[in-house]
Amino acid sequence: MSKVQEKEGFSDTTASYLAGNLIEAGTETTSSTLYAFIQAMVIFPEVMKKAQEEVDRVVGPDRLPTMDDEPNLQYIRACVKESLRWMPPAITGAIPHCVIQDDEYRGYKIPKGAAIIHNVYSINMDPARYPDPRRFEPDRYKDDFQNASDAATASDVSKRDHFTFGTGRRLCQGIHVAERSLFLGISRLVWAFDVNPAADSDGRLIIPDTDSYTSGFVVMPTPFKARLTPRSEKRAGLIRVEWKQAEEELLDPVTKQWKA
């Protein structure tokens, strides 16, 4: 039992449950955002082309992008921000808030103790803040060099990039991990693959419906078809090497679970 557990008085079972919740929350929301990014690349191929041009210029074909490349990949950073705005995985906010005193907003009385649900999706789709909001447009952020935490805690809300990580003091706890995971996922996907629409039996391209989502606390685009192809055999080979190394370093060879 850790010192924190002794001080706060919770068991190993509770600690394991809390840790599991954090892992599940981080993996599901990140994978949902990557899934949405792939859908966006099917629908907006000009974004994919521009992202690939930047990655090729900065990284080249002989290695995968790393976090060291982030300062030089502003368009990829913008793709991360736009992915989180365009398809926030927790559309009503990850954490409900509560007012600590009676309040009033636009004629609505909000009593002390009332729960406040953060309508992330509506804010992210506000055309006054984001013109043509259902268009995936990373250039909205071409001059935004804030990291996710700085943007989310900006006292001037007009400086916020989006509201997907929450508001106030109770922000997403995994904000730093999420930002880095999405940067690596998106930059490496762009570096390694071409993303194109799938075709039906008659050869007609299948374009996903951008307004069709799954239901639940964490949402994502409903299942859609897409065609991902390696940009070259060399890049495909490097991906296989990286995958092999990750398995050897992180997974137990027998159980295929994380190493203790």
The binding site comprises: 172
What gap in Å lies between CA 149 and CA 155, rounded to an integer?
12
What gap in Å lies between CA 166 and CA 88, rounded to an integer?
11
CA angle, residues 219, 163, 32, in degrees to nearest 5 = 25
Whether 35 contacts 83, CB under 8 Å: no
CA angle, residues 155, 118, 124, in degrees to nearest 5 = 75
| Residues in contact with 20: Cβ distance below 8 Å, sequence separation at least 6, in sequence order | none
H, E, C per residue of 234-251: HHHHHHHHHHHHHHHHHE
Residue positions in the annotated binding site for heme? Answer: 172
Q: Is 109 helix (H, G, I), strand (E, B) or coil?
A: strand
Q: How far is CA 192 from CA 31, 68, 234, in A?
A: 18, 18, 9
- What sign has the CA pseudo-torsion 165, 167, 169, 170? negative
